[in-house]
């Protein structure tokens, strides 16, 4: 596979946000007339829309304005939408967030938390049990005859973290394997391995593999996990810093209070990923929480100039 250049992909905007430019205007005080929020819609944007519509209604009530979510099927589109000021906020993976903050103009305000602390998740490298691969040593020995699949180019657990790990053990993803592809999403990466279209996949355990198992789309015994990463801090909900500061604080508080003020709306979205919404809430998150991931991205040769 040719070396991936993320900024060539970032410029491709999806139709879901292409008409937002005028709607995203601010008044003289830096307050939007309508709050526009971008969210990753995965392989099933309709499912995300159904889950987030109640939360949009909750935010609308709290903020006293109309709130609308827009859905894309890739993270670079969300980054571009924020940079071009077509939306005011976005739900961004950690890697998408550090890519987006390479230029000034947005900041993290909250992330999902459990028992008052930011949630974490893990990246995994996995295979179909039929390959006979049992360890990463097996992968290294057979790499030239294996196909590798990442998720989305701007995915943390489905690209950045496993790429860094593979580099660290001497497996250049772009050279060591028979072929390396991007499936486009976590679910697609997992299903590609399940269906034997590729030999080795990269994704996240808690937010994708376990979700597909709960939904009975795959069986746990179909997949062999070859490697699990250290914990990764969860997604950032980011907002443009050119918005009115009091308004930003008001938005942050609405998120922080959501599990108490409208648990049903909060729960519906959380259940897309996590099975225990009663233990969860939004919690504040500082930009510095993502510094370790910035170091990892900076240490990967193929990503340094992206």
Averaged pLDDT of the chain: 90
CATH code for the part of the protein at 6-119+234-303: 3.40.190.10
Note the residue count of the chain: 306
Of 4, 151, 3, 152, the closest CA to residue 77 belongs to 152
Question: Which two structure tokens, joined as six digits, stand for 182?
Answer: 């991007």
Torsion angle of the four alpha carbons 51, 53, 57, 60, in this order, in degrees rounded to the nearest 10 = 110
pLDDT at 114 over 70: yes
pLDDT at 247 over 70: yes
What is the β-pairing status of strands 236-240 and 106-114?
antiparallel
| The two domains 6-119+234-303 and 120-232 share their CATH topology (first three levels equal) | yes
pLDDT at 229: 96
Question: What's the pLDDT band for 21 if we cut at 50, 70, 90?
Answer: low
pLDDT, tens digit (0-9, with 9 covering 90-100), for 164-196: 999 999 999 999 999 999 999 999 999 999 999
Determine how many CB atoms are found less than 10 A away from the CB of residue 244.
Answer: 15
Q: What are the sequence ranges of the domains in the chain?
A: 6-119+234-303, 120-232
pLDDT at 47: 87
What is the β-pairing status of strands 123-128 and 223-228?
antiparallel
pLDDT, tens digit (0-9, with 9 covering 90-100), for 188-241: 999 999 999 999 999 999 989 999 999 999 999 999 999 999 999 999 999 999
pLDDT at 2 over 80: no
pTM: 0.82
| 20 SS3 class | coil
Question: Which two structure tokens, joined as six digits, stand for 85?
Answer: 């000021």
pLDDT at 22 over 80: no
- Whole-number CA gyration radius for the chain: 19
Backbone φ/ψ region at 64: left (φ over 0), alpha (ψ -120 to 50), beta? left
Cβ atoms of 121 and 157 within 8 Å: the answer is yes
CATH topology of domain 120-232: D-Maltodextrin-Binding Protein; domain 2 (3.40.190)
**CA 18 to chain centroid:** 20
Question: What's the pLDDT band for 301 if we cut at 50, 70, 90?
Answer: low
């Amino acid at each position: 596979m040719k070396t991936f250049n993320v900024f060539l992909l970032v410029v491709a905007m999806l139709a879901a946000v292409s008409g937002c430019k005028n709607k995203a205007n601010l008044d003289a005080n830096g307050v939007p007339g309508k709050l526009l929020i971008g969210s990753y819609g995965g392989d099933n944007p309709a499912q995300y829309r159904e889950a987030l519509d109640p939360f949009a209604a909750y935010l609308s009530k709290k903020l006293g304005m109309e709130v609308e979510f827009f859905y894309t099927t890739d993270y670079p589109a969300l980054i571009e939408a924020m940079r071009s000021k077509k939306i005011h906020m976005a739900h961004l993976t950690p890697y998408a967030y550090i890519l987006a903050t390479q230029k000034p103009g947005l900041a993290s305000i909250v992330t999902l938390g459990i028992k008052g602390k930011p949630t974490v998740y893990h990246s995994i490298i996995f295979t179909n049990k039929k390959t006979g691969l049992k360890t990463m040593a097996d992968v290294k020995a057979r790499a030239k005859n294996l196909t590798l699949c990442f998720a989305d180019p701007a995915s943390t657990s489905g690209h950045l973290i496993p790429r860094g790990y593979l580099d660290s053990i001497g497996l250049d993803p772009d050279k060591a394997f028979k072929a390396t592809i991007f499936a486009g999403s976590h679910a697609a990466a997992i299903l590609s391995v399940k269906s034997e279209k590729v030999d080795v996949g990269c994704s996240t355990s808690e937010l994708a593999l376990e979700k597909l198992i709960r939904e009975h789309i795959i069986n746990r015994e179909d997949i062999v996990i070859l490697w699990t990463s250290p914990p990764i801090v969860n997604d950032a909900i980011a907002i443009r810093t050119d918005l009115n500061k009091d308004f930003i604080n008001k938005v942050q508080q609405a998120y922080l209070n959501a599990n108490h003020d409208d648990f049903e709306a909060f729960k519906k979205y959380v259940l897309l990923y996590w099975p225990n919404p009663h233990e969860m809430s939004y919690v504040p998150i500082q930009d510095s929480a993502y510094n370790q991931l910035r170091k990892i991205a900076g240490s990967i040769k193929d990503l340094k100039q992206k």
